[in-house]
């Protein structure tokens, strides 16, 4: 197996303390948002054999196993991260596989540079993802019942928001949500900025369930995404709980530390809470305008002690082992590639002792045991 040396990405929304606390390092004062573990070419993990993407490229079948290569191609199909949100991420949505393939092909044919700020599709893959909380973790996920959203907005008492409240009472629900989101994203920016400022002041006065929206406006003053956020379900995960985010579901992470796993893709369409490009027509084509429950996941334990977070896709499978002192070693040998990440204690993967925040890549078929005490996340695929 290969001990991984991983890159920490310094995005502006990152916490300055959460990842250093996990790793036992001194904070630099700069945001540390995501630690990437995997073979993504943007920041591949490093091993003694070289960057992990180059190690895999040299012999995909040996590293990934024939079943995974046959199903997903000669590349690691997932990216594992530790994500530390100190401020809200953009309100966003991901395409499904067919939409991603079509969108990528269209932008390629149009000659849009891959790094252009207005480009929507960086690759031809979908990006389902799962976030598992290591600390209390707040986010927004999926459309709430339109009447609940209408009540939240109406309570602000802002006259310029009354038309949106009326629209949310219309039927069918999907059409109401689409019409309100469209109106928010196409409104005059100066008028919307005044509305958001007034709404944020009211949210701060009201406090309680409205307080998060005042905080959003503090980070993104005048942004229509502050109002759009009121259309979504607020959700708080407790440590060990997780949230699966499929295609077309609008969402945003607000704050907290978690382990995130996703299909190996960069495709994001933004709805708000960002200075970045918002392609309204494409966004409206991708978003699923249907009320949904957030669907908090709790792991299902197996006799081996492995706790699995069940999801409906095969590009990744996330589980964890919470190992007590004196527990017998657990065989985790698999025919698929694995990344093992410690988040507590000092467990051992084979002969490698892992401190919190340390990880290893285990090639397909390599005999591996977990021993020692601590919590280990296991990322692999279903092939």
Spatial CA neighbour of 265 closest among 88, 129, 167, 70: 129
Q: Give SS3 for 334.
A: coil
Give tens-digit pLDDT for 224-235.
999 999 999 999
Query: In this predicted model, what pLDDT tens digit does every residue of 49-108 receive, in sequence order?
Result: 999 999 999 999 999 999 999 999 999 999 999 999 999 999 999 999 999 999 999 999
> Which pLDDT score is estimated for 226?
97
Lowest-pLDDT range, 32-46, 98-112, 265-279? 265-279
Residue 245 has pLDDT above 90, yes or no: yes
CB 378 within 8 A of CB 318: yes
pLDDT at site 343 = 98
CB atoms within 10 A of CB 322: 19
* Residue 373 CA to its chain's centroid (Å): 28
Paired with 379 in beta bridges are 318, 339
Q: Which long-range contacts (CB under 8 A, 24 or more apart) does 277-284 make?
A: 277/117, 277/118, 278/185, 279/118, 279/120, 280/182, 280/185, 280/186, 282/103, 282/120, 283/93, 283/185, 284/178, 284/181, 284/182, 284/185
DSSP per position, 281-323: HHHHHH----B----EE-PEE-TTSEEEE--S-SS-EEEEEEE
> What pLDDT is stored for residue 297 in this prediction?
96
Confidence of residue 152 (pLDDT cuts 50, 70, 90): very high
Give the whole-angstrom CA distance, residue 156 versus residue 231.
14
Alpha carbon distance 108, 125 (integer Å):
14
344 has pLDDT over 90: yes
The reported pLDDT for the residue numbered 303 is 85
Question: Rounded to two decimals, what is the model's pTM?
Answer: 0.94
Known catalytic residue: 9? no
- Region 192-220: what's the mean pLDDT? 96
Pairing of strands 46-47, 50-51: antiparallel
Q: Helices 173-186 and 146-154, interaxial angle, to 10°? A: 40
What pLDDT is recorded for position 27? 96
- Active-site choice (9, 189, 205, 270): 270
Other Cβ atoms closer than 10 A to 17: 15
The percent of residues above 70 in pLDDT, for the chain, comes to: 100
Task: Tell whether the model's pLDDT for residue 218 goes beyond 90.
Answer: yes
| 118-135: pLDDT as tens digits | 999 999 999 999 999 999
Q: Residue 116 pLDDT more than 90?
A: yes
Residues 6+ apart with CB under 8 A from 122: 104, 114, 265, 266, 267
Q: Quick check: 295 pLDDT over 90?
A: no
Quick one: which H or E segment has residue 75?
none
347: left (phi over 0), alpha (psi -120 to 50) or beta: beta
Beta bridge partners of 75: none
Query: Given a cut of 90, is residue 276 above it in pLDDT?
Result: no
Give the per-residue pLDDT at 216: 96
| Distance (Å, whole) CA 16 – CA 27 | 6
Q: Does the structure show a pLDDT above 90 at 277?
A: no
| Residue 132 to residue 381: CA distance in whole angstroms | 17
pLDDT(42) > 90: no
Provide the H-helix boundaries in the chain: 18-23, 52-58, 60-64, 66-72, 97-109, 146-154, 162-168, 173-186, 189-206, 211-219, 225-228, 280-286
Task: Say if residue 302's pLDDT is above 90.
Answer: no
Average of per-residue pLDDT values in the chain: 95
Distance CA 257, CA 278 (A): 27
Residue 41 pLDDT > 90: no
């Amino acid at each position: 197996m290969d001990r991984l040396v991983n890159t920490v990405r310094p995005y502006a929304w990152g916490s300055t303390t959460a990842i250093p606390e996990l790793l036992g390092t001194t904070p630099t004062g700069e945001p540390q948002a995501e630690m990437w573990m995997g073979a993504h070419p943007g920041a591949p993990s490093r091993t003694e054999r070289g960057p992990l993407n180059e190690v895999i490229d040299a012999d995909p079948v040996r590293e990934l196993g024939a079943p995974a290569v046959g199903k997903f191609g000669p590349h690691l199909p997932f990216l594992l991260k530790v994500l530390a949100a100190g401020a809200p991420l953009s309100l966003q949505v991901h395409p499904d596989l067919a939409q991603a393939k079509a969108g990528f092909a269209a932008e390629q044919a149009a000659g849009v540079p891959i790094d252009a700020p207005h480009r929507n599709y960086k690759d031809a893959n979908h990006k389902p993802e799962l976030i598992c909380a290591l600390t209390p973790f707040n986010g927004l996920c999926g459309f709430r019942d339109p009447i609940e959203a209408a009540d939240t907005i109406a309570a602000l008492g802002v006259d310029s928001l009354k038309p949106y409240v009326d629209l949310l009472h219309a039927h069918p629900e999907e059409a109401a949500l689409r019409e309100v989101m469209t109106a928010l994203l196409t409104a005059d920016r100066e008028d919307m900025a005044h509305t958001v400022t007034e709404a944020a002041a009211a949210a701060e006065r009201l406090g309680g369930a409205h307080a998060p929206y005042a905080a959003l406006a503090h980070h993104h003053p005048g942004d229509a995404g502050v109002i759009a956020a009121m259309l979504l379900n607020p959700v708080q995960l407790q440590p060990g709980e997780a949230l699966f985010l499929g295609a077309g579901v609008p969402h945003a992470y607000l704050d907290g530390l978690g382990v995130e796993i996703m299909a190996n893709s960069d495709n994001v369409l933004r709805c708000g809470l960002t200075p970045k490009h918002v392609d309204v027509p494409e966004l409206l084509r991708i978003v699923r305008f249907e009320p949904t429950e957030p669907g908090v996941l709790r792991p299902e334990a197996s006799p081996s002690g492995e706790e699995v977070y069940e999801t409906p896709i095969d590009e990744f499978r996330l589980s964890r082992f919470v190992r007590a002192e004196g527990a017998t070693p657990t065989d985790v040998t698999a025919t698929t590639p694995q990344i093992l990440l410690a988040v507590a204690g000092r467990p051992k993967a084979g002969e490698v002792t892992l401190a919190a925040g340390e990880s290893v890549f285990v090639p397909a078929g390599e005999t591996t045991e977990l021993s020692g005490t601590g919590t280990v996340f296991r990322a692999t695929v279903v092939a």
